[in-house]
Amino acid sequence: MPALSRRAFLQSSAATATLAVAISATPFVIAQDSQSSGGHVTPCLRIDADGNITLCVPIPDMGQGMETTAAQMIADELNVNLDDVSVELMPFLGTVNDGGRAVFGRFYQGGGGSGSTMRIWHEIRGTAAYARALLLEAASRRWQTVRSGLVAREGAVFNPASGQSLPYGDLVPHTAGISDISEAGMKPKTANERTIVGADARNVHSRAIVTGKPLFGIDAEIPDMLHAAIRRCPHLNGRVISFDDTAARQIQGVIDIIPVDRIPEDTAQWRSVAAGLAVVAESYWAARKGAEALEVTWDETVSTGDDTGLLREKCLAALDGDGMTTSIEAGDLDAAFSEASHSIEATYFHPHWAHTCIEPHSCIAHVKDDEAEIWVGHQFMNSAINGVKDATGIAPEKVKANFYRMGTGFGRKAENDFIIEAAILSKATGRAVKVTWTREDEMEQDYVNQLAAYKLRAAVGQNGAISAWHLKAAADTTPAVVTREFPARLIDTYKTEYERVPNGVTRGAWRGPHHNVIAWVIQSFLDEVAVETGQDRLEALLSLYDRKTALKSLNWPNRDITFDRFRGVLRKAAEEAGFGKSMPDGWGQGIAVHHTFVSVCAHVVDVQMTGDRDYRVHKVTSAIDCGLVVNPLGVRAQVESGIMDGLCAAKYGKWILDKGLVTTNNFDTYQKMRINEAPSEINVHLLDFGDEEPRGTGEVSLPPVIPALTNAIFAASGKRIRELPISENL
């Protein structure tokens, strides 16, 4: 059967002309539209007719700094200064697989799993090195000299022998048709040759950001588009029973009211799109007023059992029930506990967290008979395009997607609901439609971080060392990650078990999925054990992570973990923070370490109690191993960001379902930290373990900061935080 397979296709971004794509015999996909008036030399370099250089980066930026990081990699190979060039996002350069889905091509074009930097490390430098080779070759042909004698620097090719030089822009037309460059001639630079990778680079879009340029998806507009505001069912998985749109239709500018059905229809299945009523209007404000004027009777009955208090009770009860599934086990657990000199047990619980992406979701879609175009900020280019296919049936090759910067993502902007809604409404109206969410929509229709309860038991021998580890987890998702996490397997006798409590809550990736909460549970309990057995808290951790040299992680992405890195970051953070120093009454320090995906981070948090029920974080001292560092300034920014995110979620994060109704739906009911609660001192230390490749940063600093905080609160106050949020449990 003839397949659609492997058809290369390319969607141009709004900012660039359509490119012609050729699959070269070289290892690199090459897009060249070199003409006399400038053009692309590979997909990562564009030069206009005036010689202005633009570096084209493959992965959308949501604040993690990927556009800057990728631009550094390209700039280094091309020997251009970042201050002298522009940076823009590439269009989608993927293909369609046998199942008719858009998939990545040469470049990974998504932001998630803290993996962007490592996933493009070879490909983007290789492509940029190929562009450099093409420019050098073009110059050598112009000058009829050997390429090896030429030098590319500061945006031009120089011939040291003759003193001649040609700017890259002049060479663009002459790169067309060159196809016989050897692989050796386009090798990326070695570590010693690099000057931009490894050096601090400020956000390449800072000037545009501080002057208010329209960079974000929500800023996009196209001529003749309509606006839509959707009144979505606030009851989880509910639907519309009846509605009266008389008043809404009287609002000036309102064009139509269009019911949006829940997708899928079966409420027992995971929600893709919420049920609601879309008000389509000439302006966003008219659409919003129309949505508010609708009188709707909702079906509130579907998810009344999905209630934060009830789910908490169910998860806690499950810990002692008989519904647990064994995840991993080894050794004789019962014997170890009966022989132990100490047995320590504790129960932990945390509620849901909302994403609160600062930019509410939005998407413009223009769906025609057999083609469509979207304008959107989204974490994954392939997935965004597949969302249009799912909504309309239009093949990915016929979907043109224009991608924008995101006002944070944290995993929520990896979902497609806002794209599907725009596509459905465009198809229904025959016009381009922009769907803009409110903050209430963003929080009510969130794919939240999971709610879970845990019971941990440790058997401790005469020497104070943990001899057996027993962990149970019950959650509204399958909490397998925590059961596979260390110190199980570092400790030879262990058993871990889990249970998923049935529920209808939509959960999704939230910065450092699973790790964001399990680091707290594990590292806090280890701190409890050390304190109860009279050990030094740092020494207890160092000795635990000295039990084995390395283990393959059972959690994604299943890499080999070497524990010298755990000890390394612990020692560095402790040393820099003066961990263990004497502090005034009411002050305390906490320490914790965790590996998220493939990188590892430790923090020491210094807190001061400010009364019985509040505290102030004065200082955070961090050590991170994230492999080869491309942008130290950017890594520090991500570590600082993860610290704030963790401190904030731990103190205030609680997304509340009241019998299926979300009652925390804006910043008046869902508190976030402001500058007054931010630590005034954050010291980040980047450790070098000799890696030749990057490992990832964006999610890594968040997980260990929560236990470092609660361990510090214990040291300062004697109160052990076993339930989040801290603000309600101190």
Binding mask 321-360 for another protein (x = CB under 8 A): -----------------------------------xxxxx
Whole-angstrom distance, CA of residue 487 vs CA of residue 466: 10
Residues between 691 and 720 that touch another protein (CB under 8 A): none
Give the residue carrying structure tokens 């400790």: 491
Of positions 487, 679, 704, 725, contacts another protein by CB under 8 A:
679
- Cβ 655 to another protein, closest distance in Å? 15
Residue 549 binding another protein, by CB under 8 A: no
Of positions 14, 258, 678, 730, contacts another protein by CB under 8 A:
678
Give the residue carrying structure tokens 């223009």: 366
Residues 6+ apart with CB under 8 A from 492: 330, 331
Tokens read off for 353: 């967290």
Whole-angstrom distance, CA of residue 606 vs CA of residue 583: 10
Whole-angstrom distance, CA of residue 21 vs CA of residue 134: 16
Query: Please, which residue, 164 or 683, has the CB nearer to another protein?
Result: 683
- Concatenated DSSP letters for 419-464? HHHHHHHHHHHTS-EEEE--HHHHHHT--BBPPEEEEEEEEE-TTS
Of 270, 282, 317, 344, which is closest to residue 527 (Cα–Cα)? 344
Of 727, 566, 541, 571, which is closest to residue 649 (Cα–Cα)? 727
Handedness of CA 498, 502, 503, 506 (dihedral sign): positive
CB 28 within 8 A of CB 42: yes
Residues between 599 and 638 that touch another protein (CB under 8 A): 633, 637-638
Query: Please, which residue, 582 or 680, has the CB nearer to another protein?
Result: 680
Tokens read off for 730: 């101190």
Residue 65 binding another protein, by CB under 8 A: yes
Residue 114 binding another protein, by CB under 8 A: no
Of positions 38, 43, 63, 115, contacts another protein by CB under 8 A:
63
Binding mask 375-414 for another protein (x = CB under 8 A): ------------------------------xxxx------
Residue 445 binding another protein, by CB under 8 A: no
Query: Please, which residue, 81 or 666, has the CB nearer to another protein?
Result: 666
- Cβ 440 to another protein, closest distance in Å? 8
Residues between 286 and 305 that touch another protein (CB under 8 A): 286, 289
Of positions 5, 246, 250, 252, contacts another protein by CB under 8 A:
252
Binding mask 564-603 for another protein (x = CB under 8 A): ----------------------------------------
| Tally: H helices and E strands in the chain | 18, 34
- Cβ 284 to another protein, closest distance in Å? 6
Whole-angstrom distance, CA of residue 570 vs CA of residue 623: 7
Single out the segment in contact with another protein by CB under 8 A; choices: 299-307, 310-318, 460-468, 671-679.
671-679
Q: Site for another protein (CB under 8 A): how many residues?
A: 60
Of positions 11, 608, 641, 711, contacts another protein by CB under 8 A:
641
Residues between 134 and 163 that touch another protein (CB under 8 A): none
- Cβ 249 to another protein, closest distance in Å? 16
Of positions 36, 144, 190, 680, contacts another protein by CB under 8 A:
680
Whole-angstrom distance, CA of residue 726 vs CA of residue 604: 18
Of positions 141, 187, 202, 720, contacts another protein by CB under 8 A:
202
Whole-angstrom distance, CA of residue 28 vs CA of residue 45: 14
Of positions 205, 366, 514, 567, contacts another protein by CB under 8 A:
205
Of 308, 280, 302, which is closest to residue 234 (Cα–Cα)? 302
Q: Please count the other Cβ atoms lying within 10 Å of the Cβ belonging to residue 245.
A: 18
Tokens read off for 69: 């990081």
CB 491 within 8 A of CB 385: no
What helix, strand, coil percent values describe the chain, rounded to 5? 30, 25, 40
- Cβ 266 to another protein, closest distance in Å? 33
Whole-angstrom distance, CA of residue 421 vs CA of residue 273: 7
Residue 224 binding another protein, by CB under 8 A: no
Residue 250 binding another protein, by CB under 8 A: no
Of positions 13, 34, 203, 496, contacts another protein by CB under 8 A:
203
Residue 32 binding another protein, by CB under 8 A: no
- Strand runs (DSSP E) across 108-186, as ranges? 151-153, 156-159, 164-167
Residue 81 binding another protein, by CB under 8 A: no
Whole-angstrom distance, CA of residue 547 vs CA of residue 576: 25
Single out the segment in contact with another protein by CB under 8 A; choices: 151-159, 211-219, 385-393, 533-541.
211-219
- Cβ 121 to another protein, closest distance in Å? 21
CA atoms within 13 A on the CB side of 198: 16
Residues 6+ apart with CB under 8 A from 627: 118, 598, 599, 689, 691, 693, 694, 695, 696
Q: Which amino acid is at 347?
A: T
Of positions 92, 121, 168, 284, contacts another protein by CB under 8 A:
284
Residue 222 binding another protein, by CB under 8 A: no
Which stretches of the chain bind another protein, using CB under 8 A? 61-65, 202-203, 205-207, 209-216, 218-219, 252, 283-286, 289, 356-360, 405-408, 436, 438-439, 633, 637-638, 640-645, 648, 666-668, 672-676, 678-680, 682
